[in-house]
Structure 1
Amino acid sequence: MGAGMWGFPEGSGHAPGAELVGYRVEATDGSIGRIDKHSEDVGRCYIVVDTGPWVFGHHRLIPAGVVSRIDRAREVVYLDCSQEQIKDAPDFERGRYDGDAATVRLIEQHYANWHL
């Protein structure tokens, strides 16, 4: 845990191996959707959020370092960013992220500009 942008912060409540798919995701100013996928890859942990009707038909890949805390009892993941910051993030296209350096770079640039 705690590997900069790509690691869950210490004290976030993340438990390695815990299933987060289906959890609701809350930005600092409201709901943004539900977790569609999450990864615990060493050095590159993230969640993928299905934004549903909020940003219709879009998914956002969010580095684990943006997670502020996880409430297992309520099945909610809280983020340390606003809805607007998530809305402005690059779209996540299934099958494109793995091994695509350009997509990784876009995501890192977006979140590095305000998070770290």
Structure 2
Amino acid sequence: MTVDRIWSYAPEFNHPEVHDLTGYSVEATDGTIGQVDRQADDSGMRHLIVDTGVWVFGRSVLVPVGVVAGIDMETRKITVTCTREEIKSAPGFRTDRETLDPAYLATVGSYYGGLPPRQPA
């Protein structure tokens, strides 16, 4: 996936940014990673902040919406095309200030854009 596309939902999702995804569970290709704490849809670099709970020592991760493979509104579940290890290895997210830092977002975009393409489980 190109870095440009990493910040946009795939066209088949019918504008999910109009829906509040807060609280949705997030599933990697090999298991649960956490739940959406908040989402950013207005910056042009759309992303989800996912609270990983105890899985990654209470850390949150920033996940660009370009890796979203599915959104099930009924079960409140989002699937992504990454593995748990890939998400755990992504550039660290510490504060909301980073969501406004072009250098940080470029690093995140390059990381996720460089992952091998795969389909969700």
Provide the TM-score with structure 1 as the length reference.
0.88
Equivalent in the alignment of 2:112: 111
Equivalent in the alignment of 2:31: 30
Which structure features the higher share of strand residues?
Answer: 1
Is the contact made by 1:13 and 1:70 (CA closer than 8 Å) also made in structure 2? Answer: no
- Structure 2 residue ranges without an equivalent (≥5): none
d(CA) in 1 for partners of 2:107 and 2:17? 26
SS at match of 1:54: coil
User: Cα gap change, 1:78/1:13 in structure 2, threshold over 3 Å: closer, same or farther?
Assistant: farther
Deviates more, 1:61-70 or 1:94-103: 94-103
Deviates more, 1:28-37 or 1:100-109: 100-109
Structure 1: which 4+ aligned runs deviate by more than 4 Å?
none
How far is the alpha carbon of 1:13 from its aligned partner?
A: 5.4
Correspondences of 1:1-116 after superposition (within 5 Å): 4-12=5-13, 14-114=15-115
Task: Kindly report the root-mean-square deviation, in angstroms, between the aligned alpha carbons of the 2 structures.
Answer: 1.7
Q: Percent identity?
A: 37
- Structure 1 residue ranges without an equivalent (≥5): none
Is the contact made by 2:71 and 2:78 (CA closer than 8 Å) also made in structure 1? Answer: yes
Provide the TM-score with structure 2 as the length reference.
0.85
Deviations 1:36-92 (A, max 9, x none): 010112521110100111101211111110000100100000001111110101121
d(CA) in 1 for partners of 2:14 and 2:79? 11
SS at match of 1:77: strand
Is the contact made by 1:32 and 1:54 (CA closer than 8 Å) also made in structure 2? Answer: yes
How far is the alpha carbon of 1:103 from its aligned partner?
A: 1.1
* Equivalences, count: 114
